[in-house]
A and B are shown apart, each in its own frame.
Chain A
C-alpha cells in the first residue's frame, strides 16, 4: 500500500500547472499509480474549474463582446481538426516497460510517454554503474535531471545532502531511507535540508525514478572524495 504521497499543496500546484516539468512528471507518475491521489486530483480540478463559473457575471449573458462573437464565428467556420496520425502512431509505439537484465517492469503512463525516443534506456543498456547501483538518465530539464535508478539488494547511495529538491518515486521493490521503508508507488519528497543515505532493502532489489534539482553533495568521511560523483548521480 502506498503510504507516502505528495502534500496537498504540491498536488494543488500540480493541478494548477504551476510546477516545473520534471517535478510535475514525478507527481503525474505517482498519480498514475495512486487511486487516492487520482481522487484528490479530480476534487482539486473541480474546485479550480469552479473558479471559471465564479467569475463575476458577465454584463449580459445573452450578448457577446465583439471580439468573442468574431471568435465564435471563426471557430464554427473552421475546418474539422486534422486526424493526428503521427501522434497516434507515436502513442501506439510507446514502450510500456523498462527492462533490466532479465526483468521487465511496467511503467506508469506518464513515464511511458517519455520513453519513445530512448531505446537504450528502455532496454537497460548503457546505464552507468556505481557498485550495486545503476543509473539510466532520462532527461535534463533546466535545473532538473530525471533518471531511473536500479539498486541491487543491500546497495545504497552514499550519504549526501541536496542543494535543491529531490523526488524519488518507487517503481518496484523496497527503497529504504533511514528507518523508513518505501514500496511501489511511494512518492518521497526531500528538500535542501535533508541529509540521507537511501538504498534498496537488504532482501529486495529496487527500481525507482528520480528528479533532482541540483547536484548531490556528499557529507560523510571518505565519501567526500566522491563529491565529483555527486554531479554524476545528479
Chain B
C-alpha cells in the first residue's frame, strides 16, 4: 500500500528536475583515510546486522563511543551523567537496530549522529513539563522499519476528485481492488482475502488499473 505508484496521483510538486550542482556534497569526516574509514564502518554495521558480529561491534564502539561521549557532553550542556546515558542509548540502538541501517543512504557516522540527535530530542521532550506528543521518529524517520515508508518517496497530494473522472476506464474487477486498496487503505493481503482471490491477482489488477489510469490521464493532458 505504501508503494502507491506516483503515476496515479495528481501530484504537482517535485516533478521538476533538481538544479544540478546546487547541493555541494560535503566532505566526509576528516580522518587519515576518510573513504577507507567510511567503508570500514559501513561494513562493520552490515556485519553487526547480519551476524551480530561482536568483533566488529567492539571495533566500531572503540572508535565511536569516546568521540560520541565528548560530543554528547557538549550536547547535554556539560552534564556528563546525562551524556553517558545518551551514549549508552545510542550505542545500544546501533547494536540492536543495525539491520535498519541502509548503507546506500549515507555514512555510518551520519546514521549514528541522527540516532543520537533523535534520542536527545526525546530525552528533552520527556523531561519537559508539557511533554509534547511529537516524537523524534515523527520528525526524523531514522529507524523506520520499512525504509520505503520514509522520506524517499516522491510526494503527491491527491485530490481524489481529479481522479474520479478516470475511473470509468477501469473494469469492475479492477475498480473493486483499487477502491479497497487506495480508497479504503486496506492492505493488499486483506483485499485478497475479502475477495477470495490470490494476492498475485490483486497485485496484477492494481498494476493494470494503474497503467490504464495513467494512459487516460496522459491522453487527457493532450486534449
Real binding pair: yes
- Tell me the A residues contacting B by CB distance below 8 Å: 1-2, 14-17, 21-22, 24-25, 28, 31-36, 38-40, 42-43, 45-56, 58, 61-62, 64-65, 67-68, 71-72, 74-76, 78, 80-81, 88, 91-92, 95-97, 102-110, 113-114, 139, 141-142, 171-172, 183-185
A49, B110: Cβ atoms under 8 Å?
A: yes
Chain A: CB-nearest residue to B38: A53
In the bound complex, CA of A51 to CA of B109 (Å): 10
Residues of B within 8 A of A142 (CB): 130, 132
- Cβ of B167 within 8 Å of any chain A Cβ, yes or no, is no
B109, A52: Cβ atoms under 8 Å?
A: yes
- For window 122-175 of B, CB contacts with A under 8 Å fall at 125, 130, 132-134, 136-141, 145, 149-161
Of the listed stretches B13-21, B197-205, B207-215, chain A binds B13-21
Smallest beta-carbon distance A51→chain B, Å: 6
Within the complex, which residue of B57, B65, B138, B151 is in contact with A76, where a contact is CB–CB below 8 Å?
B57
Within the complex, which residue of B22, B91, B106 is in contact with A75, where a contact is CB–CB below 8 Å?
B91
Smallest beta-carbon distance B185→chain A, Å: 6
Chain B: CB-nearest residue to A84: B145
In the bound complex, CA of A17 to CA of B141 (Å): 13
Within the complex, which residue of B67, B117, B133, B141 is in contact with A53, where a contact is CB–CB below 8 Å?
B67
Give the interface centre of A14, A45, A58, A95 by most chain B CB atoms within 10 Å.
Answer: A45
Sample of 23 A–B contacts (CB below 8 Å)? A17-B136, A21-B132, A31-B151, A34-B155, A39-B23, A46-B110, A49-B109, A50-B28, A52-B29, A54-B30, A55-B66, A58-B70, A64-B65, A68-B69, A71-B65, A78-B95, A88-B145, A105-B158, A105-B159, A106-B158, A107-B157, A141-B134, A183-B13
In the bound complex, CA of A92 to CA of B113 (Å): 27
B70, A55: Cβ atoms under 8 Å?
A: yes
Residues of B within 8 A of A33 (CB): 13-14, 155, 157
In the bound complex, CA of A87 to CA of B146 (Å): 13
B68, A52: Cβ atoms under 8 Å?
A: yes
B112, A49: Cβ atoms under 8 Å?
A: yes
B61, A81: Cβ atoms under 8 Å?
A: no
Within the complex, which residue of B24, B97, B137, B139 is in contact with A24, where a contact is CB–CB below 8 Å?
B139
Chain B: CB-nearest residue to A63: B62
Chain A: CB-nearest residue to B158: A106
Residues of A within 8 A of B156 (CB): 106
A185, B66: Cβ atoms under 8 Å?
A: no
B30, A50: Cβ atoms under 8 Å?
A: yes
In the bound complex, CA of A58 to CA of B95 (Å): 22
Smallest beta-carbon distance A10→chain B, Å: 13
Residues of A within 8 A of B161 (CB): 102-103
Residues of B within 8 A of A1 (CB): 12-13, 15-16
In the bound complex, CA of A153 to CA of B154 (Å): 27
Smallest beta-carbon distance B15→chain A, Å: 8
B18, A52: Cβ atoms under 8 Å?
A: no
- Cβ of B58 within 8 Å of any chain A Cβ, yes or no, is yes
A139 and B133 in contact (CB under 8 A), knowing A72-B91, A110-B139?
A: yes
